[in-house]
C-alpha cells in the first residue's frame, strides 16, 4: 500500500474516508462534518444524510457508514465514528482507520482520501497511528494458499491512501518522518506476523537464524549464531536440555545494533522466547487444539526480530542486543526426562518437574547471556504461560517487573503503540513453590499463580540489571479480525518494543 500526505480539503478522488465525532452532549443529534454536509446538499441530494439517519449513525466508536454516491467528484464515501472527542486515543484512531478501510475494501475502493480531523492528540503521532493502522489492516498473508484459493480472495482492495492533514505545510518534514516511522513499524510487525503464522515445518531454529542473518546483512548489524557446541562451552545446560529431543540443531541468536557514529545514549537487550514448536516434551500437551497452536511459541522471538528490523531502519542512538535461544520442544529417546537436573550458565541447578515448562529454561540462559553484555536494561517477551492467558484473556500481555521505572516506561510505550499490557505482581513469597528437594529450584510451581511463579523463575537468572518480562501467550494470535489485526498472527510486541527504545533515546538526549 502506498501512503501520501496532502493538504485538505477533500477533492476529486475515488473514495473519501471521513472521521466523525459523536455529539458531546446526549441531547444533541449527530451532525455531518461540514465538508460532507455541503456536498451532500449540493451534489448528492441529501442521500448521505438519509443513509446516516436510516442507519442511526451517531459517530460512535466501531460504527461506520459506507455508500456509493450517484454523482460528483467523489464516488464512494465511508464515514467512521470516533466517539467522544475528549476520549479519543491514538489506538481509537487506529481502530477507526482500520474499520474505515475495511469498509472501503468492501466498496472495492483502490484509492482512498483519508481526511484527518483536528483532535486533541499530538498531530504527528496521529499521522503515525493512522498510517500504521492502514498498513497493518491491509496485510493479508496468503503465502500458504494455493494460487486458485488466494486469487479467489484477491487481497486487500485499497492500494493507495492519501492522508489529508490540516496544517500540513509548515511541519511537513515532521509528518514525513511520522510516515517513515509507521512504514518501518508496519514492516517489522508484518515480519513478526509472518514468522508466527508460518508453521513449524517452515520456521525452524535454522530458518529463524537465517532471518536474523538477513536482517544483519540488510542493515549492517553484527550477528552471532551459536550452535550446540558453542552453547555447551558457555554452560547453557538449561537451553540445551530443552533442545536435546529435537532433530534440529539449537541456534542461539545474537544480533547487535550499534549507532554508526558517536556514543550510544543507552545499551539495551531485547530477549525473545524462540520455541519454533512446543509439543510439551514427555509431559506432552494432551489437548489437540492447544498443541496445534504451538507454532506460535516463538512469538516473543518474532517480536524481537521484527523490532530489530524496524529499529535497524530507524537508527536510534542506542546500542541494542537482540537475543533468541531458538529450539523446539520435542519428544525422543534423547530428550530430557521429568526429574532430570540441569545446570544453567549461571551454575544454578534446575529440577525438571515438567518438560512443558521449557520456555523459562531457554530464557534462563538467554537472560544470563544478556546480563553479561553489561546492558542498562533487559526486556524479555515470551509466550510463557497458559496461566497468563487465563488471567488476562487473549488481548492483554502480562507485565512482570520489580523495577518501577521500567514499568512506567513500558506503560508509556504501550500507550503509544496501543498494545495492551497489564502489570502483574511478582509476589516473592510464591518463590517457595519452586523449592526442590534435590536441586536449587524446580522449573514449575503449583497451578495457581502459574504466570507469577514463571516470572519468579526467570528472575533467578538476572542478578542486578533492571529487567522486565512480558508474557505474550495471549495476544500473539487472534481467531478473528479485530481493528487493524486480521485473523492469525498479530505481530504483537514489535511496536511497543520500538516505542520503548525510542523513548529511552529521547529521554537520554534531553539530559
The contact set with Mn ion (CB under 5 A) reads 278, 356, 358
Separation between Cα atoms, residue 158 and residue 108, nearest integer Å: 7
Contact 375, 321 (CB under 8 A): yes
Choices 241-249, 270-278, 305-313, 421-429 (CB under 5 A): range interacting with Zn ion: 270-278
| Binding partner selected for residue 354 from Mn ion, Zn ion, ligand BES, none, CB under the kind-specific 5 to 8 Å limit | ligand BES
| Binding partner selected for residue 486 from ligand BES, Zn ion, Mn ion, none, CB under the kind-specific 5 to 8 Å limit | none
Letter string b/e over residues 86-108, b meaning 16 or more CB atoms within 10 A of that residue's CB: eebbbbbbbbbbbbbbbbbbebe
509466550: which residue's cell? 383
Closest to Mn ion by CB, 194 or 356: 356
Contact 39, 47 (CB under 8 A): no
Give min distance, CB of 438 to ligand BES, in A: 19
Give min distance, CB of 367 to ligand BES, in A: 16
The contact pattern for Zn ion, residues 285-304, with x = CB under 5 A and - = no contact, is: ------------x-------
Separation between Cα atoms, residue 490 and residue 108, nearest integer Å: 24
Give min distance, CB of 272 to ligand BES, in A: 13
285 is catalytic: yes
Closest to ligand BES by CB, 69 or 342: 342
Greatest CA separation found in the chain? 83
DSSP type of residue 440: S
What are the two backbone dihedrals, phi and then psi, of residue 8, each rounded to the nearest 5 degrees? -65, 170
Closest to ligand BES by CB, 71 or 292: 292
Contact 304, 213 (CB under 8 A): no
Q: Which of 285, 459, 495, 504 is catalytic?
A: 285
From residue 278, alpha-carbon distances to 75, 201, 210, 385, 398 in Å are 51, 13, 20, 12, 20
Which residue's CB atom is positioned nearest to Mn ion? 356
Contact 498, 307 (CB under 8 A): yes
Closest to Mn ion by CB, 358 or 365: 358
Give min distance, CB of 338 to ligand BES, in A: 11
Give min distance, CB of 441 to ligand BES, in A: 13
Separation between Cα atoms, residue 440 and residue 214, nearest integer Å: 39
Give min distance, CB of 16 to Zn ion, in A: 47
Contact 306, 176 (CB under 8 A): no
| Binding partner selected for residue 385 from Mn ion, Zn ion, ligand BES, none, CB under the kind-specific 5 to 8 Å limit | ligand BES
Closest to ligand BES by CB, 66 or 367: 367
Check residue 471 for interaction with Zn ion (CB under 5 A).
Answer: no
Which among 396, 421, 397 has a CA at the least distance from the CA of 409?
Answer: 421
Render 397-425 in DSSP notation, one character per residue.
EEEEES-HHHHHHHHHHHHHH--EEEE--
Give min distance, CB of 460 to ligand BES, in A: 16
Q: Which of 273, 295, 360, 504 is catalytic?
A: 360
CA dihedral over 135, 141, 146, 149, signed as positive or negative: negative
Residue list 301-330, contact with Zn ion (CB under 5 A)? none
184, 278, 319, 371: which one binds Zn ion (CB under 5 A): 278
Which positions touch ligand BES (CB under 6 A)?
Answer: 278, 290, 297, 354, 356-359, 383-387, 389, 444, 450, 473
Residue 350, all three cell numbers: 534446575
Element (H, E) at 147: helix 147-152
Separation between Cα atoms, residue 493 and residue 191, nearest integer Å: 12
Check residue 380 for interaction with Zn ion (CB under 5 A).
Answer: no
Within 8 A by CB and 6+ apart from 336, the residues are: 241, 242, 244, 245, 281, 282, 342, 352, 355
Q: Centre a 10 Å sphere on the Cβ of residue 290 and count the other Cβ atoms it contains.
A: 12
Closest to ligand BES by CB, 123 or 445: 445
Separation between Cα atoms, residue 117 and residue 313, nearest integer Å: 30
Choices 278-286, 402-410, 423-431, 483-491 (CB under 5 A): range interacting with Zn ion: 278-286
Choices 101-109, 189-197, 277-285, 493-501 (CB under 5 A): range interacting with Zn ion: 277-285
Check residue 359 for interaction with Zn ion (CB under 5 A).
Answer: yes
Give min distance, CB of 359 to Zn ion, in A: 4
Closest to ligand BES by CB, 175 or 477: 477
Give me the torsion for CA of 274, 276, 212, 460, rounded to 10°. Answer: 10
Give min distance, CB of 344 to ligand BES, in A: 17
Which residue's CB atom is positioned nearest to ligand BES? 386
Residue 465, all three cell numbers: 540489571
Separation between Cα atoms, residue 481 and residue 502, nearest integer Å: 29
Q: Where are the beta strands (DSSP E) in 187-318?
A: 222-226, 251-257, 267-278
Residues that bind Zn ion (CB under 5 A): 275, 278, 297, 359
Residues noted as catalytic: 285, 360
Amino acid at each position: 500500500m502506498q501512503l501520501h500526505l496532502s493538504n485538505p480539503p477533500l477533492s476529486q478522488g475515488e473514495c473519501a474516508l471521513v472521521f466523525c465525532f459523536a455529539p458531546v452532549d446526549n441531547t444533541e443529534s449527530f451532525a455531518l462534518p461540514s465538508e460532507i454536509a455541503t456536498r451532500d446538499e449540493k451534489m448528492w441530494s441529501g442521500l448521505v444524510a438519509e443513509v446516516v439517519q436510516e442507519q442511526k449513525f451517531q459517530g460512535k466508536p466501531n460504527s461506520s457508514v459506507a455508500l456509493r454516491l450517484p454523482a460528483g467528484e467523489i464516488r464512494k464515501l465511508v464515514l467512521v465514528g470516533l466517539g467522544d472527542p475528549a476520549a479519543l486515543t491514538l489506538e481509537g484512531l487506529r481502530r477507526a482507520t482500520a474499520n474505515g478501510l475495511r469498509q472501503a475494501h468492501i466498496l472495492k475502493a483502490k484509492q482512498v482520501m483519508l481526511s484527518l480531523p483536528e483532535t486533541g492528540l499530538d498531530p504527528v503521532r496521529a499521522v503515525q497511528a493512522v498510517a500504521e493502522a492502514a498498513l497493518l489492516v491491509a496485510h493479508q498473508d496468503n503465502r500458504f494458499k494455493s494460487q486458485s484459493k488466494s486469487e479467489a480472495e484477491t487481497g486487500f482492495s485499497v492500494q493507495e491512501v492519501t492522508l489529508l492533514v490540516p496544517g500540513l505545510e509548515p511541519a511537513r518534514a515532521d509528518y514525513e518522518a511520522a510516515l517513515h516511522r509507521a512504514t518501518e513499524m508496519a514492516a517489522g510487525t508484518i515480519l513478526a506476523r509472518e514468522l508466527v503464522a508460518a508453521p513449524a515445518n517452515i520456521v525452524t531454529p535454522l530458518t529463524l537464524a537465517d532471518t536474523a542473518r538477513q536482517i544483519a546483512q540488510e542493515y549492517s548489524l553484527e550477528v552471532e549464531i551459536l550452535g550446540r557446541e558453542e552453547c555447551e562451552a558457555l554452560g547453557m545446560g538449561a537451553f540445551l536440555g530443552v533442545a536435546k529431543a529435537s532433530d534440529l540443531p539449537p541456534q542461539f541468536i545474537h544480533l547487535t545494533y550499534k549507532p554508526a557514529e558517536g556514543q550510544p545514549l543507552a545499551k539495551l537487550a531485547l530477549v525473545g522466547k524462540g520455541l519454533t514448536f512446543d509439543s510439551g516434551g514427555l509431559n506432552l500437551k494432551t489437548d489437540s487444539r492447544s498443541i496445534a497452536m504451538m507454532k506460535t511459541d516463538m512469538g516473543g522471538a518474532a517480536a524481537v526480530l521484527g523490532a530489530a528490523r524496524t529499529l535497524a531502519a530507524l537508527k536510534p542512538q542506542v546500542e541494542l542486543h537482540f537475543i533468541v535461544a531458538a529450539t523446539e520442544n520435542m519428544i525422543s529417546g534423547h530428550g530430557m526426562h521429568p526429574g532430570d537436573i540441569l545446570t544453567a550458565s549461571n551454575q544454578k541447578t534446575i529440577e525438571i518437574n515438567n518438560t512443558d515448562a521449557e520456555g523459562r529454561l531457554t530464557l534462563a540462559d538467554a537472560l544470563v547471556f544478556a546480563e553479561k553484555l553489561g546492558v542498562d536494561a533487559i526486556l524479555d517477551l515470551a509466550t510463557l504461560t497458559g496461566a497468563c492467558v487465563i488471567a488476562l484473556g487473549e488481548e492483554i500481555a502480562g507485565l512482570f517487573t520489580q523495577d518501577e521505572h521500567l514499568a512506567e516506561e513500558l506503560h508509556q510505550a504501550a500507550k503509544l503503540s496501543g498494545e495492551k499490557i497489564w502489570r502483574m505482581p511478582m509476589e516473592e513469597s510464591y518463590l517457595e513453590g519452586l523449592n526442590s528437594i534435590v536441586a536449587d529450584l524446580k522449573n514449575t510451581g503449583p497451578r495457581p499463580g502459574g504466570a507469577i511463579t514463571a516470572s519468579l523463575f526467570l528472575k533467578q537468572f538476572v542478578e542486578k540489571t533492571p529487567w522486565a518480562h512480558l508474557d505474550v501467550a495471549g495476544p500473539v494470535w487472534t481467531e478473528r479480525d479485530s481493528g487493524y489485526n486480521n485473523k492469525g498472527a498479530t505481530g504483537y510486541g514489535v511496536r511497543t518494543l520500538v516505542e520503548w527504545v525510542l523513548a529511552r533515546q529521547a529521554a537520554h538526549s534531553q539530559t
